[in-house]
Structure 1
Amino acid sequence: MVFTIPEGLHPDLNPLAWLVGTWRGKGRGEYPGIEPFEYNHEVVFNHDGRPFLNYYSRSWIIDAEGEVIRPAGSETGFWRVKPNNVLEVLISHNTGITEGWVGQFDGPKIQLVMDQGYSAPSAKIVTAGVRLYGLVAGELFFAYDMAAEGKELQAHIWSSLARSSD
């Protein structure tokens, strides 16, 4: 894959430059008490020259034909690179949850573990999480394992996203 470092990218972010852009695709999800589902997923990583990436993710529940049924989850946040290939990530969800994540990157493979979380009084309580991002066959693979509402850590959602040209 031919790749160019985005113009104006802070040098600290060079190891994550491959993420910058818009990614779109489909995913699947499941969790105890939730009917298995499919979704369209869009993830955007961009920057403004400072030493963090801006992150935005949104999704829509779809039917078996791929038609949108309704909006689903959305997240916004910031990704910061620290020494020794460490990442600090802050993510807020439209469902009333905000999380701090810490992890490692190794080339185009990123593993994050939830460090701390906050749930608004009306939001579900998420007690643990693991996220995986990686470049697989030119696409952004994403997986999120979650422990919530008294359930143990288990697979929740995963998607495969192609880089968009816009």
Structure 2
Amino acid sequence: MTDPAPGAQRGSGDAAVEAALRRSAGTAALNLEDVPTLPIEGDTANLRLGAELNPACHVLLPLVGVWRGEGEWNYPTLDVPRRYGQQITISHDGREFLRHEAITWLLPVPAPVADGDDETAAGDVAAAESAEKPEPADRPEPAAREVGWWRPQPDGTIELVIAHSEGVVELFYGTSRTLTSWTFGSDAVIRTASAPEVTGASRLYGIVDGKLAYVEERATAEHELQPHTSALLERIIG
């Protein structure tokens, strides 16, 4: 048992804190980039490096890489669409699936420009005040996160499992439309009690002029399937 620090009684909160500080002496200055290398084959997002892509994943080969760019977010409660930045990493470790991770941030919203020469009708003012609009912002804001797995099957179907940071898990089934495009529809949606009431979704991915493009439609308890997000991302790795 670790001896308590001078002046601290055994079993006291001070002793526990002091013991924790001593234990963390070798790790307190380290972070994720300092994690030691795993004893197994690591993920790669570059087909020229690391493990060889599993033959089962050849149907998804063009997707492997790290992609970054901008998109547009729509939601029934938004008066105007919101622009966002996003990075999607699609990697593999040589097995029969791809790993998916998306990190999203909301882009700054410019402050509205007042026009003193125009008069707005009272009804228009009331409608504008009641609509939900993004507040002006001068820096990016962290937004949605998602992780998941692309799982090609022997019969040609592709399972796509996506878990969202907002508490939603979606199971999609899809197929390749062409060598560079893939379409998916949700088969099941699981939500936590605090998650948005998502009831279904569809996704379309494609490689367009070397860029990753996608469109997502989403349905909720109150709204039928409708456009939700779309983006065009540049390849930055792979």
TM over 0.5: yes
> In the alignment, which of 98, 102, 105 is matched to residue 57 of structure 1?
102
2:85 corresponds to: 40
Taking the aligned partners of 1:22 and 1:28, their CA distance within structure 2 comes to 19
2:199 corresponds to: 127
The offset of 1:138, in angstroms, is 1.1
What is the Cα-based RMSD across aligned positions, in Å?
Answer: 2.0
Please give the residue correspondences for 1:76-91 in structure 2 after superposition, counting only pairs within 5 Å.
76-91=147-162
Q: What do the CA deviations read for 1:26-81 (whole angstroms, capped 9, x no partner)?
A: 00111110242000011000001110000001100002579643111110000011
The offset of 1:149, in angstroms, is 3.3
Taking the aligned partners of 2:91 and 2:227, their CA distance within structure 1 comes to 27
Are 1:136 and 2:180 counterparts? no
Taking the aligned partners of 1:140 and 1:67, their CA distance within structure 2 comes to 27
Taking the aligned partners of 1:78 and 1:34, their CA distance within structure 2 comes to 30
CA contact (8 A) 2:47 2:53 kept: no
2:59 corresponds to: 15
Q: What do the CA deviations read for 1:63-103 (whole angstroms, capped 9, x no partner)?
A: 25796431111100000111343110110000000010001
Residue segments in structure 2 that go unaligned for 5+ positions in a row:
1-45, 111-136
Which has the larger share of helix? 2
The offset of 1:153, in angstroms, is 0.4
Are 1:28 and 2:28 counterparts? no
> In the alignment, which of 138, 147, 152 is matched to residue 219 of structure 2?
147
- Point out the structure with max Rg over C-alpha: 2
User: Which one is further off, 55-64 or 6-15?
Assistant: 6-15
Which has the larger share of strand? 1
Name the aligned partner's letter for residue 93 of structure 1.
Answer: H
Moved over 3 A (4+): 3-7, 64-68
Identity %: 32
The offset of 1:15, in angstroms, is 1.5
The offset of 1:4, in angstroms, is 5.9
Larger relative contact order, structure 1 or 2 (CA cutoff 8 Å, min sep 6): 1
Taking the aligned partners of 2:138 and 2:195, their CA distance within structure 1 comes to 28
Name the aligned partner's letter for residue 135 of structure 1.
Answer: I
CA contact (8 A) 1:117 1:126 kept: yes
Q: What do the CA deviations read for 1:99-138 (whole angstroms, capped 9, x no partner)?
A: 1000111311110001101000000121111101001111
Aligned length: 164
Taking the aligned partners of 2:232 and 2:78, their CA distance within structure 1 comes to 21
CA contact (8 A) 2:191 2:197 kept: yes
Taking the aligned partners of 1:67 and 1:163, their CA distance within structure 2 comes to 27
CA contact (8 A) 2:85 2:104 kept: yes
User: Which one is further off, 7-16 or 151-160?
Assistant: 7-16
2:144 corresponds to: 73
The offset of 1:143, in angstroms, is 0.7
